[in-house]
Amino acid sequence: MLLLKLAAMLLSNVSNQIYGVDLGKRKEVNESDDSRRESRLSLDFKVVYEDQEVLVIRAPTEDELVNIILRLLNEKPMNIKEIHHYLPGIASEDKIRKTLTKLVNEGKVYVLEDGRFIVVGR
Protein backbone atom coordinates (compact mmCIF):
# COMPACT_ATOMS: atom_id res chain seq x y z
CA MET A 1 0.00 0.00 0.00
CA LEU A 2 2.79 2.41 0.91
CA LEU A 3 4.55 1.55 -2.33
CA LEU A 4 1.42 2.45 -4.30
CA LYS A 5 1.16 5.80 -2.49
CA LEU A 6 4.82 6.54 -3.22
CA ALA A 7 4.38 5.63 -6.90
CA ALA A 8 1.30 7.86 -7.16
CA MET A 9 3.18 10.75 -5.57
CA LEU A 10 6.10 10.25 -7.94
CA LEU A 11 3.86 10.21 -10.97
CA SER A 12 2.04 13.35 -9.86
CA ASN A 13 5.34 15.19 -9.41
CA VAL A 14 6.93 14.24 -12.75
CA SER A 15 5.32 17.18 -14.52
CA ASN A 16 7.01 19.51 -12.02
CA GLN A 17 10.40 17.82 -12.57
CA ILE A 18 10.59 16.71 -8.95
CA TYR A 19 12.36 13.41 -8.39
CA GLY A 20 11.77 11.52 -5.17
CA VAL A 21 8.96 11.65 -2.67
CA ASP A 22 7.54 14.97 -1.49
CA LEU A 23 5.91 14.34 1.86
CA GLY A 24 5.01 18.01 2.28
CA LYS A 25 7.70 18.55 4.92
CA ARG A 26 10.75 20.78 4.79
CA LYS A 27 13.81 20.79 7.03
CA GLU A 28 16.83 23.02 7.13
CA VAL A 29 19.81 21.51 5.35
CA ASN A 30 22.81 20.41 7.36
CA GLU A 31 25.62 20.39 4.81
CA SER A 32 28.03 18.43 7.02
CA ASP A 33 25.85 15.26 6.95
CA ASP A 34 27.58 13.68 3.96
CA SER A 35 29.76 14.67 1.00
CA ARG A 36 27.14 13.69 -1.58
CA ARG A 37 24.69 16.11 -0.03
CA GLU A 38 27.40 18.80 0.18
CA SER A 39 28.29 18.48 -3.50
CA ARG A 40 24.65 18.68 -4.56
CA LEU A 41 23.88 21.63 -2.31
CA SER A 42 26.96 23.53 -3.43
CA LEU A 43 25.40 23.36 -6.90
CA ASP A 44 22.34 25.23 -5.55
CA PHE A 45 19.68 22.60 -6.10
CA LYS A 46 16.36 23.42 -4.46
CA VAL A 47 15.77 20.99 -1.61
CA VAL A 48 12.13 19.90 -1.61
CA TYR A 49 12.36 17.45 1.31
CA GLU A 50 15.06 16.06 3.53
CA ASP A 51 15.27 13.58 6.36
CA GLN A 52 17.92 11.15 7.65
CA GLU A 53 17.52 8.74 4.72
CA VAL A 54 16.10 10.80 1.83
CA LEU A 55 17.10 14.00 0.11
CA VAL A 56 14.63 15.19 -2.55
CA ILE A 57 15.71 18.01 -4.83
CA ARG A 58 14.18 19.74 -7.82
CA ALA A 59 15.83 18.82 -11.12
CA PRO A 60 17.53 21.73 -12.89
CA THR A 61 16.05 23.31 -16.02
CA GLU A 62 18.14 23.28 -19.22
CA ASP A 63 19.45 26.79 -18.51
CA GLU A 64 20.31 25.86 -14.93
CA LEU A 65 22.07 22.72 -16.18
CA VAL A 66 24.23 24.86 -18.49
CA ASN A 67 25.26 27.04 -15.54
CA ILE A 68 25.90 24.02 -13.30
CA ILE A 69 28.11 22.35 -15.93
CA LEU A 70 30.03 25.58 -16.53
CA ARG A 71 30.65 25.94 -12.78
CA LEU A 72 31.86 22.33 -12.56
CA LEU A 73 34.18 22.81 -15.53
CA ASN A 74 35.58 26.03 -14.01
CA GLU A 75 36.85 23.89 -11.13
CA LYS A 76 38.73 21.44 -13.39
CA PRO A 77 38.45 19.80 -16.83
CA MET A 78 36.09 16.82 -16.71
CA ASN A 79 34.70 14.16 -19.01
CA ILE A 80 31.01 13.27 -19.20
CA LYS A 81 31.25 10.50 -16.59
CA GLU A 82 32.98 12.83 -14.11
CA ILE A 83 30.28 15.47 -14.59
CA HIS A 84 27.59 12.81 -14.21
CA HIS A 85 29.22 11.79 -10.90
CA TYR A 86 28.10 15.17 -9.48
CA LEU A 87 24.60 14.85 -10.99
CA PRO A 88 23.48 11.23 -10.45
CA GLY A 89 19.73 10.89 -10.80
CA ILE A 90 19.53 14.59 -11.65
CA ALA A 91 20.76 14.68 -15.24
CA SER A 92 21.39 11.69 -17.50
CA GLU A 93 24.62 11.31 -19.43
CA ASP A 94 22.64 12.00 -22.61
CA LYS A 95 21.32 15.28 -21.23
CA ILE A 96 24.83 16.23 -20.11
CA ARG A 97 26.22 15.28 -23.54
CA LYS A 98 23.54 17.40 -25.25
CA THR A 99 24.34 20.38 -23.03
CA LEU A 100 28.08 20.01 -23.62
CA THR A 101 27.54 19.82 -27.38
CA LYS A 102 25.52 23.04 -27.19
CA LEU A 103 28.30 24.72 -25.18
CA VAL A 104 30.99 23.54 -27.63
CA ASN A 105 28.94 24.84 -30.60
CA GLU A 106 28.52 28.21 -28.82
CA GLY A 107 32.30 28.37 -28.25
CA LYS A 108 32.04 28.45 -24.45
CA VAL A 109 33.65 25.03 -23.94
CA TYR A 110 36.10 22.96 -25.93
CA VAL A 111 37.23 19.34 -25.86
CA LEU A 112 40.75 18.33 -24.91
CA GLU A 113 42.55 15.48 -26.71
CA ASP A 114 41.79 13.08 -23.85
CA GLY A 115 38.02 13.72 -24.12
CA ARG A 116 37.72 16.05 -21.15
CA PHE A 117 35.87 19.33 -21.51
CA ILE A 118 37.26 22.70 -20.42
CA VAL A 119 35.85 26.23 -20.29
CA VAL A 120 37.34 28.55 -22.92
CA GLY A 121 39.74 31.05 -21.37
CA ARG A 122 40.38 29.04 -18.22
Domain ranges of the chain: 2-58, 62-119
Give the rounded percent of residues in the chain with a pLDDT score beyond 70: 64
Q: What pLDDT is attached to residue 35?
A: 46
The Cα 108–Cα 118 span in angstroms is 9
67-110: pLDDT as tens digits: 999 999 999 999 999 999 988 888 899 999 999 999 999 999 99
12-59: pLDDT as tens digits: 444 344 333 333 333 344 444 444 434 443 666 788 899 999 888 888
C-alpha triplet 67, 106, 68: angle, nearest 5°: 10
Q: With H, G, I as helix, E, B as strand and everything else as coil, classify residue 87.
A: coil
String of DSSP letters for 1-17: -HHHHHHHHHHHHGGGT
What confidence tier does 9 reach under pLDDT thresholds 50, 70, 90?
low
Give the rounded percent of residues in the chain with a pLDDT score beyond 90: 45
Give CA 112 to chain center in angstroms: 23
Among 69, 51, 73, 50, CA closest to 60: 69
The mean predicted confidence, pLDDT, of the chain is 74
Whether the pTM exceeds 0.75: the reply is no
CATH number of this structure's domain 62-119, picked from the four choices 1.10.10.10, 1.10.10.60, 1.10.760.10, 3.40.50.300: 1.10.10.10
